[in-house]
Amino acid sequence: MICLRAAAAVGSAGIQGLAQIDRYGDFSRNFKDFSQSKGPFMTKLALGVSHKDGCAWVTGASTGIGRSVALRLAKDGWTVAATARSAEGLASLEKEATRLKGQIIGFEGDIADRQRMAQVVEQIESGHGPIALALLNAGIYLSVEAANIDLDKFDRSVDVNLKGTANCLVPLIKWMRARNKGHIALVSSVTGYGGLPTCTAYGATKAALINMAECMNIELARDGVLVSVVNPGFVDTPAQDDLNFSKPFMVSSDTAAKRIVKGLSKGTFEITFPKRFTYMLKILNNFIPKSVYLNLIRKQTGWNARP
């Protein structure tokens, strides 16, 4: 209700109204002062964290982006707590990291299991913590078409991608707020920018993650906790195998990991790549009529003709 009231207030007031409802005075002056602030609060949030601040936690770490990010962080000297459902995948990951500067320690678990995620965070904090950086990457893609919505797939998508991420966030935020420091990154997707075929369930959860990251970034900044969102384009992982349309500008999981780690080190809110693709999608979703976007996507993906 508070969110709806705030949105209604801003929408009806317009720019002049913003100046009136801004309790600190002139909106334009305060925005300029805030954006140019060099105080310790702004500096702390802008710089992110390093391996000297504690360990990193990566979920969905046994394959794809999660695995590549875990290895790159370990290469940079991080102690990485890696979570995945596959014990075999985690053992392989630990072994691969033995020659790196840092180390990887596996914590088997399913993010859809709320109690297990609370246990994992407790085990990391007590044995290897504090958790300075968390990349909540675990997720699934299940093809769901509007003509025949599979509710089991829909439920599973929400349980893992959205509620599973929340299961990780609850214990994690508690620890980070107590320290007044930490960096959390949610891995979403450019699918969250606008609709794509076969993504009725997946796209909905990814759009929700983007909104979730924005909300938490606003709320947790005053507690010294930075929240970011990662919106990759197409990355060459097993999740892409079920997409039966062209995937332009696809990058390898190693390239994705390099760009993610670089973005995390800068402490930026959104990490997105490859920009020549993702920025094009931003323009299509924000600066042209939605009907034009939908017709274009329909044509480009082959959904403009009957099967």
Which residues does the annotation mark as catalytic? Answer: 202
CA dist 270 and 276 (Å) reads 15
Name the one residue in this structure whose structure tokens are 């384009």: 233
Closest CA relative to residue 185, chosen from 152, 216, 158: 216
Closest CA relative to residue 191, chosen from 232, 244, 239: 232
Q: Is beta strand 131-136 parallel, antiparallel or unpaired with respect to 182-187?
A: parallel
Q: What is the CA radius of gyration of the chain?
A: 20
CA dist 231 and 91 (Å) reads 28
58, burial (CB in 10 Å: exposed 0-12, middle 13-18, buried 19+): buried
Closest CA relative to residue 158, chosen from 58, 131, 150: 150
Provide CB contacts within 8 A for 184, sequence distance 6+.
133, 134, 136, 169, 172, 173, 176, 216, 225, 226, 227, 228
Strands (E), the chain: 55-59, 79-84, 103-108, 131-136, 182-187, 225-232, 270-273
Half-sphere CA count of 189, side-chain side, radius 13 A: 24
E strand or H helix at 122, and its extent?
helix 114-127
Number of neighbouring beta carbons within 10 Å of residue 112: 19
283, burial (CB in 10 Å: exposed 0-12, middle 13-18, buried 19+): exposed
